Amino acid sequence: MALFEPTACQVDVAAGTMSGATGTYRKRLADLAGLYGDEGAFAAAVQAGGNTIVYDVADFRPSARSGDLIFGITRMSAGCIGEEYYMTRGHIHAVADRPEIYYGQAGQGLMLMESPEGEMRVIEMRAQTICYVPPFWIHRSVNTGTADFVMIFSYPADSGQDYGIIERAGGMRHRVMQGGPKGWQLVGNKDYRPRSTEAVAAVMQP
């Protein structure tokens, strides 16, 4: 069997980029319709500058084999739609028992996690924070700071991403809004529809 060549990628924390990436993508405001609670504020923000970059992702994917690892970097801009902080789309891994590690590099933000049954967890992230996202947790990153929020991540190469689990529920159970002693607070999402017992069981089956 031919061995994969050992590889190093160089992280540029200030730029939020990584050399040697095998793939990159960028999400602009106009790509993120339906994510934010204040539709009027979203429409106005798109009107004013739909090209605004909300986040960039660069990753290195050696293979898609079970047992292999994907790693990369995500850089999130600071900003809000109305009072709701910029966030990633969020997902559960398509192979739901696959975990993930995030490692903070710059800025500050949150890893917002929700179990299929609707339990919420929040981990505050800054430079040097390592967050373990266990198997079966839906996860989304939120920039609660005033500068770029940069994290490195790694997860099993056969994980995949399922974005529909959040869309079908009307979003995550809580939104991250301005306010509170830390500058952010969790506010119940009025559009949230809890998953049925059957939907939860379908995600949790091995």
Q: Which residues bind Zn ion (CB under 5 A)?
A: 100
Q: Determine what percent of the chain falls in helix, strand and coil, rounding each to the nearest 5.
A: 15, 40, 45
Minimum distance, C-beta of residue 86 to Zn ion, in the bound complex (Å): 18
Residue from 141, 148, 149, 152 in contact with ligand S6P (CB under 6 A): 141
Stretches 82-90, 108-116, 119-127, 184-192: which one binds ligand S6P (CB under 6 A)?
A: 82-90
Residue 171, token pair as written in the block: 């979003």
Stretches 3-11, 85-93, 170-178, 192-200: which one binds ligand S6P (CB under 6 A)?
A: 85-93
Judged by CB, which is closer to Zn ion: 100, or 148? 100
Minimum distance, C-beta of residue 70 to ligand S6P, in the bound complex (Å): 7
Rg (C-alpha) for the chain, rounded Å, is 17
Element (H, E) at 167: helix 164-168
Stretches 9-17, 84-92, 106-114, 195-203: which one binds ligand S6P (CB under 6 A)?
A: 84-92
Stretches 10-18, 46-54, 152-160, 182-190: which one binds ligand S6P (CB under 6 A)?
A: 152-160
Question: Cα–Cα distance between 21 and 146 in angstroms, integer?
Answer: 27
Is 137 among the residues that bind ligand S6P (CB under 6 A)?
Answer: no
Query: Which of 160, 155, 148 lies closest to 132 in space, CA to CA?
Result: 155
Minimum distance, C-beta of residue 40 to ligand S6P, in the bound complex (Å): 24
Beta bridge partners of 81: 84
Is 155 among the residues that bind ligand S6P (CB under 6 A)?
Answer: yes
64 in Cβ contact with 158 (< 8 Å): yes
Q: Which residue has the tokens 């903070």?
A: 104
Is 57 among the residues that bind ligand S6P (CB under 6 A)?
Answer: yes
Size of residue set near ligand S6P by CB under 6 A: 13
Residue from 74, 105, 115, 143 in contact with ligand S6P (CB under 6 A): 74
**What Å distances lie between residue 11 and 18, 73, 81, 112, 167, CA to CA?**
4, 8, 29, 24, 32
Residue 163, token pair as written in the block: 């974005």
Question: Cα–Cα distance between 110 and 178 in angstroms, integer?
Answer: 13
Is 75 among the residues that bind ligand S6P (CB under 6 A)?
Answer: no
Binding residues for ligand S6P, rule: CB under 6 A, are 57, 72, 74, 88-91, 100, 141, 153, 155, 159, 161
